[in-house]
A and B are shown apart, each in its own frame.
Chain A
């Protein structure tokens, strides 16, 4: 059975800290891995990773994929209270383009 596992499930940090969120997967027909940020209801897209070892970066956020070890990490440096959200990892399968989500990591950044 295809599955995506995220860790930790929740995290509380102080502003300015750096956090690393983890996502491991076991799927057949892997195509891409995506990270989403969910603040209220609608997840918003952060990154799509398809190739191993190539870091994607956007401001204080960065992510990388390891297709050999079947995991990805999302780093957030100099965290701000606005980073408080649930971070979702999803894997897309080839062929049917099915999205399989992990349970998410709930991040809370304290002022």
Chain B
């Protein structure tokens, strides 16, 4: 079973520039999560999709962050304009959530964003 794919692996941008991250979840997984993990902290949920609908985006800074999952499969997360405090690892995860007992989330390798 192929894992969660993310790209790019690393990105360095200047503040006020824009950046986009891409995620392809495990085939058949209905739920997709985007997390922001700042150094020394646990992952913080930015947005959760169930198929192509948003379940939770309460912690997404909507003035600068946006995300979409148009066909209910892969997803993009965009930041525009970026700030220095956006420097973090952005993790994408997916889970089946079809009622089976073992529906843990599987994570991609993440994108390390550095804003200078």
Contacts from A to B (Cβ < 8 Å): 4, 6, 34, 36, 40-45, 48, 50, 88, 96-104
Q: Which residues of B contact A45 (CB under 8 A)?
A: 104-106
A102 lies within 8 A of B42 (CB): yes
Chain A contact residues: helix, strand, loop or mixed: strand
Contacts from B to A (Cβ < 8 Å): 31, 33, 35, 40-45, 48, 50, 55-56, 89, 91, 93, 95, 97, 101-110, 112
Q: Given A97-B31, A97-B97, A101-B44, are A42 and B108 also a contact pair (CB < 8 Å)?
A: yes
**In the complex, how many residue pairs between chain A and chain B have their CB atoms under 8 Å apart?**
58
Going nearest first, the 5 A-B pairs with the smallest beta carbon separation are A41-B110, A101-B42, A42-B107, A103-B42, A101-B43
Q: Which residues of B contact A43 (CB under 8 A)?
A: 43, 91, 107
Cα-based distance from A40 to B41 in the complex (angstroms)? 14
Cα-based distance from A74 to B41 in the complex (angstroms)? 19
Across the two chains, which residue of chain A brings its CB closest to B4? A42
A74 to chain B, nearest CB (A): 15
A100 lies within 8 A of B45 (CB): yes
Q: Which residues of A contact B93 (CB under 8 A)?
A: 99
Across the two chains, which residue of chain A brings its CB closest to B93? A99
Cα-based distance from A102 to B91 in the complex (angstroms)? 15
Q: Given A41-B91, A41-B112, are A34 and B104 also a contact pair (CB < 8 Å)?
A: yes
A99 lies within 8 A of B105 (CB): yes
A-B contact pairs, 25 of them (CB 8 A): A4-B42, A6-B42, A34-B105, A41-B109, A41-B110, A42-B107, A42-B109, A43-B91, A43-B107, A48-B104, A88-B43, A97-B55, A97-B97, A98-B48, A99-B33, A99-B45, A99-B93, A100-B45, A101-B35, A101-B42, A101-B43, A101-B44, A102-B42, A104-B41, A104-B42
B97 lies within 8 A of A98 (CB): no
A96 lies within 8 A of B56 (CB): yes
Q: Which residues of B contact A41 (CB under 8 A)?
A: 89, 91, 109-110, 112
